[in-house]
Amino acid sequence: MRKYCFFFFNLMYHWNKPDSDVFCYGSLEDIKHKLRQRIFELNFINTLKKTRIGVLGKPSDWLIASEVDYEDVYRTWGVSIIDIEMEEVKSNIKQFSESDTKEIQSVFYDFPFNNNITLKDIAKVAIIYIGVKKTILDNKLSALTLRCFDLLDSFNTTGCLALSKLNDEGIPAGCEGDIPSIFTMLINQMISGTPSFMANPSSIEDKTITLAHCTVPLSMVDTFEFKTHFESGIGVGIAGKFNTENVTLSKIGGPGLNQFYVDEADFIKNLQSEQLCRTQIIIKPKNGIDYFFNSPLGNHHIITDGSYADKFKKIMSIFDAKFVS
């Protein structure tokens, strides 16, 4: 005979809402599950309250829907967004030379790269990585988005590999100064415990969507090689190959980051086009592609390996975010 247990306990469910009594009922296993869920949500909220996202340079000029209201984001999520001038970032990078990066370079030496990439190219990337890492430590950042195209003229390289490495270290790091995208990457990492891939929709056909970018975290792909950055033809970009069956596609947007899209998708295949950013995948969203024609929340979208749509929606519901379809 099934046993039921009823009890009340007080839980601060959201720091800007009053304490509420949470009523748990059902079997002992049901109650344990509900308690674990409440504890996860509370820890999630408390972690966000300690989070500092660094905007290293302003969003790139061509981005759509990248501006957010920092105060509104703080009121809703408890997250602090910190503007950091690119001059500070560049100054930190300039403090280091190739002799300072030997240990970091050694991590990259055994990686596959084509004839266009040299060890000197890797050394330049290592300097970018160390300079950005110093900026993170100096400003006590939890995550960052970098106006990466500003590095091209100043250092004749790109930040692709540096950002990839930071993501693999558990520091969400996006490019082009895209604040909604880095916030989405942060939320995905907190939910899944793994890094995610920021990519641009490149084409849509036959209910599938092609996404591409040069900054995929190496831990997300099965194989990879180093090539030049697609748009500039210099630096080090990553051509990765996924080996998975399904992914979660998501984006948080709006001035207060109070709107979101999420769907799970079947992984179809990897591509190797010379006309796209270096890591290229085709996926098939389970709920169709109308969203991308009707109300997309900006340029970049975020890919997480695995199925997390339900957990993502649950977290969004805590903060009263509106689902966009």
Distance CA 177, CA 90 (A): 15
Q: What is the pLDDT of residues 151-196, one digit of tens each?
A: 999 999 999 999 999 999 999 999 999 999 999 999 999 999 999 9
One-character DSSP codes across 208-232: EEEEEES---GGG-SEEEEE--TTT
Closest by CA to 238, choosing from 221, 222, 215, 220, is: 215
Q: Is residue 304 part of a domain?
A: yes
Please indicate, yes or no, if residue 196 is contained in any of the structural domains: yes
Of 60, 12, 18, 74, residue with least CA distance to 256: 74
Residue 41 in any domain: the answer is: no
Does residue 212 fall inside a structural domain? Answer: yes
The secondary structure element, H or E, covering residue 197 is strand 197-205
The answer to whether 80 and 171 have CB atoms below 8 angstroms apart is no
Number of domains in the chain: 1
Task: State the residue range of the domain holding 148.
Answer: 46-323
Which token pair is 187?
């939320």
Residue 63 in any domain: the answer is yes
Find tokens 């981005």 and name the residue: 63
Question: What is the number of other CB atoms lying within 10 angstroms of the CB of residue 25?
Answer: 11
Contact status, residue 250 vs residue 180, Cβ threshold 8 Å:
no
Q: What is d(CA 197, CA 181) in angstroms, rounded to the nearest whole number?
A: 10
200's tokens = 């641009």
pLDDT by residue for the chain (325 residues), tens only, comes to 344 444 434 444 343 443 444 555 667 777 666 777 777 788 889 999 999 999 999 877 767 767 899 999 999 999 999 999 999 999 999 999 877 777 666 666 566 556 678 888 888 998 999 999 999 999 999 999 999 989 999 999 999 999 999 999 999 999 999 999 999 999 999 999 999 999 999 999 989 999 999 999 999 999 998 999 998 988 899 999 999 999 999 999 999 999 999 999 999 999 999 999 999 999 999 999 999 999 999 999 999 999 999 999 999 999 999 999 9
Q: For residue 155, what is the domain's CATH number?
A: 3.20.14
Exposed, middle or buried, 308 (CB in 10 Å: 0-12/13-18/19+)? buried
H-type helices in the chain, by residue range? 28-49, 70-77, 86-94, 102-109, 119-139, 150-155, 160-168, 179-192, 290-294, 309-318
Residue 173 inside a domain? The answer is: yes
For residues 87 and 200, the answer to whether their CB atoms sit within 8 Å is: no
Q: Is residue 28 part of a domain?
A: no
Give the count of beta carbons closer than 10 Å to the beta carbon of residue 321: 20
CA–CA separation, 279 and 273 (whole Å)? 9
Residue type, 304: T
Query: Does a structural domain hold residue 12?
Result: no
Say if CB 110 and CB 133 are below 8 A apart: no
